[in-house]
Amino acid sequence: MNEELARLRDTLVQVVERLTRDVRALEREVESDHALATTLAALAGGTPDLPPLRARLVIVQPVRGTRIEDEIAELDAVSAELDARLESLRRESRRIDHALEPLLWNSDDAILTRTPGGRTLANSRGAPILDALATRAPGAGLFTLATGERLAGDALPHERAARGEAIDQLAVHLRAPGELVPTALVAVARPLPHGAGVAVFRARRAAR
């Protein structure tokens, strides 16, 4: 019987560890997306229809050395609490996605986001910028308007924001592959939680 209880306890420990990782990962995602929605709305002169974020769940692990039956009961309780938190986070994530959709896809601005995982995402207006940054075509990319110097990867506004830097009114121009006339833009960038960042590019006028 004790061996069966020990196996059950060990299984529950693994379940709690997995759920804890899932909760922490989704908490980071929700925090970053909530900050993205709030930042984009603020840059557009509004506020998103979102409730404040809930505080992170404090996870208390059962203490080894208690009776194994008590430890199993505590692990069951922790597992149930983590399951409930995951479901709550999923609902919160869906609400944030709903608020983000018009901010990203109805915007006249080009938006590039560096995710906590290091990926760069773009809305439809930002896709040409992302394509220009990805190409190896000579003369394509983002260039500073003042000096004409091509911005290296770590100097791009969304990358600088991911390192904690806020950028206002950075004048750049976009040279897309195959385009003869560059597009003059102004970039604003803001840091987001967990090493993420967002840059918003607004057209000024065509460069001559």
Q: Give the residue, 147 or 60, on which the prediction is more confident.
A: 147
**Packed helices 2-43 and 68-105: angle between N→C axes, nearest 10 degrees:** 20
Q: What is the pLDDT of residue 208?
A: 42
Tokens of 106: 């109805």
Q: What is the mean pLDDT of the chain?
A: 88
Rounded-to-integer distance, Cα 180 and Cα 170, Å: 22
CA angle 10, 12, 17 (to 5 degrees): 95
The whole model's pTM is what? 0.83
pLDDT digits (tens, 9 = 90+) for 16-61: 999 999 999 999 999 999 999 999 999 988 887 787 777 776 666 6
The yes-or-no verdict on residue 180 having pLDDT over 60 is yes
Instruction: Give the strands of the sheet with 120-122, arranged side by side.
Output: 120-122, 110-114, 196-206, 183-192, 167-175, 141-144
Looking at the DSSP bridge assignments, the partners of residue 200 are 111, 188
Give residue limits of the domains in the chain: 2-105, 110-206
